Amino acid sequence: MGVEEEYLVVDRETGDLLSDPDPAMFAECQEALGPQVSPEFLRAQLEVGTRVCATVQEVREQLAFLRTTVSEVAGRHGAAIIAASTHPSALWWEQMPTDKDRYKVMVEDLGWVARRLVICGMHVHVAIDDPDLRIDLMNQVKYFLPHLLALSTSSPFWGSRNTGLRSYRLNVFRTLPRTGLPEEFSSWAEYQRHVEVLSGAGIIQDASKLWWDIRPSARYPTLEMRISDLCTRTEETVTIAAAYVCLLHYLFRLRTNNQRWRQYANLLIAENIWRAQRYGCRGSLMDYGKGELVPFAELIEEMIELLAPDAEALGCLDELANTRRIVEEGTSAERQVEVYEKALAEGASNAEAIKNVVHHLMSDTLHGL
């Protein structure tokens, strides 16, 4: 497995997003991390990726190393990183795209829809060698994507306003074409035929331009989970990665016993995604088997019990159990809103309260390393 995270680069003193950071900073990051760090669509962003990891514990070690290294380099250039899916106060039209041909083509193709992408994500890859199995598990694990989103929310603010959502990032991302839930495919061959229709017409270059919430990776033999917000704390990222790999292990275990998880229409799953986006881990999701809304905390207890044999087999029982702590303590989105509301209650202006949130994120990004 492996994990990719995208960070925002901010001024260490003001917390403002750096629309044009010192190029020497990125060069120094590349010197230290090589191909494990790369530029992103905006100059104020960068992406890191773990090496291929055999265990969840290796993911933790890799992410801690990557965050620490990037943070130290940024600090030497008067900057800091924020691990959150939106910057609380940044204005999208002030941000500058990275000067690379692929990003120029993206702006030409998508216009202002692309320019608005002042958002960061987190992608978790799990290796599945058999391409037909990759498609089969993608069809089934879609049901659990709202759970993973609810555990990861970190984007309640946009343009210095509390949006009322726990994941506003998804609202921004959904304006792109080819996003959301994938269709149900019967086989790898059927999936490939659909990709070839789009690429043959010149609409996309390849399958990497399918920006679904979960997809077969175009680069690796993996099933790539993309719905989650970027977790502010490394331990939360590790928890999401553990839950995802355990879910796939569980579904594969069902398959070996000639069973499978019941599949539901995208219409129903999308409704739970909206509820996770709006209310996060403090809300409720529809249990389609029961036909009723169930508090998310109860669903997590059920999920921990369901996946316990898989977590034990994969050596990540503690990491899976940490989903319970996230629900109890709240995600980054809850923490940000608490900081904001506390500042307002103490007499701060909206601008001052938002600045408090930014500085909280700068600190919280390195929590637990």
Q: What is the pLDDT of residue 357?
A: 98
Amino acid letter for position 286: M
The predicted-structure confidence for 226-278, as pLDDT tens digits, reads as follows: 999 999 999 999 999 999 999 999 999 999 999 999 989 999 999 999 999 99
User: Global pTM?
Assistant: 0.95
Domain that holds residue 65: 2-364
Is 21 part of any domain?
Answer: yes
**And the tokens for 63?**
């992410």
Locate all alpha helices (DSSP H) within the chain, ordered by sequence: 23-33, 56-76, 101-110, 112-115, 131-141, 145-150, 169-173, 188-200, 234-256, 266-279, 296-314, 317-329, 332-345, 350-364
Closest CA to 291 of 268, 275, 270: 268
The predicted-structure confidence for 71-123, as pLDDT tens digits, reads as follows: 999 999 999 999 999 999 999 888 888 888 777 888 888 888 888 899 999 99
Is 328 part of any domain?
Answer: yes
Q: What is the pLDDT of residue 104?
A: 80
**And the tokens for 18?**
């750096």
Q: For each successive 10 residues of the chain (369 residues), what is the average pLDDT?
A: 97 93 93 93 93 97 96 95 97 85 81 89 97 98 98 97 97 94 96 96 93 96 98 97 98 95 94 98 93 96 97 98 97 97 98 97 81
Is 32 part of any domain?
Answer: yes
Spatial CB neighbours of 38, under 8 Å, sequence gap ≥ 6: 46, 47, 48, 49
Q: What is the CATH number of the domain that holds 293?
A: 3.30.590.20
Is 16 part of any domain?
Answer: yes
Contact 228, 152 (CB under 8 A): yes
Is 369 part of any domain?
Answer: no
Work out how many domains the chain is built from and give that number: 1
